[in-house]
Amino acid sequence: MATIWQKIQQYYQSTLENGDKRTDPWLLVYSPVPVAAIFLCYLFLVWSGPKFMKSREPVNLRTVLIVYNFTMVCLSAYMFYEFFVTSYLANYSYLCQPVDYSTSGLGLRMASVCWWFFFSKVIELLDTIFFILRKKNSQLTFLHVYHHGTMIFNWWAGVKYVAGGQSFFIGMVNSFVHIVMYSYYGLAAIGPHMQRYLWWKRYLTALQLLQFLAMIIHTTYNLFTDCDFPDTMNMVVFLYCVSLVLLFSNFYYRSYLARKSKKA
């Protein structure tokens, strides 16, 4: 038993020490423990929140949601700009891009926006809390909880070990999609009279699907070519995006195609 425990300790220590030395001092990066604690608190809120709100009136969060969603639009726009401009200035390849672990200006700039992208995933856990407070329990689907809960772990690992390189493509594409997504949510929060302008929700889901397909193609290419970027990371991204394509496809079918066929 002692030997097994020692091996666990050694593995954990190597997890801490083998990360990117530039990002280790940054908030929530050095150890997986804070992120794991956030994740467990998130799951507890998902389980206990609806029970707590069951006998209470929904909370009116209209102003909060307007401010929150348009703040997320601004943050997403900032991250998209940083990913795009930094990759352009550093002459990044869209086919194969190793991580620049140097302390150069562009290397640190890319690592910094990767951290902001990771931290934005922590902020986005508020989406779930707002659903709970507004008693929108139908929105607490497996897809929603799975996607929000796992993204913080995926991008913790990204910032801890590969803050840059191929990772920039995922962050850039997802930031663009979130500009569109949070714009939709922000407009919807303004009031029911905005619904006439929100006919494009179906296309938002299609855009989300398209981004995951693009990421699958991007990582698949690197899995079968000689590229100095960890295959382990590419494989994790590939499998994760496949799971999201399946879940979002199921959501798209149930929300639009099946409903349309019922109406017909």
Q: Which residues contact 78 (CB under 8 A, 6 or more apart)?
A: 116
Residue 148 is among the residues annotated as catalytic for this protein: no
**Candidates 147, 148, 178, 218; catalytic one:** 147
Closest by Cα among 77, 79, 61, 70 to 185: 70
- Tokens representing 173 are 């594409």
The answer to whether residues 229 and 166 touch, using CB atoms and an 8 Å cutoff, is yes
User: What is the Cβ-side half-sphere exposure of residue 130, based on CA atoms within 13 angstroms?
Assistant: 18
Q: Which among 228, 85, 238, 261 has a CA at the least distance from the CA of 168?
A: 85
| CA distances (Å), origin 40, targets 36, 153, 219 | 6, 12, 30
**Residues carrying an active site annotation:** 147
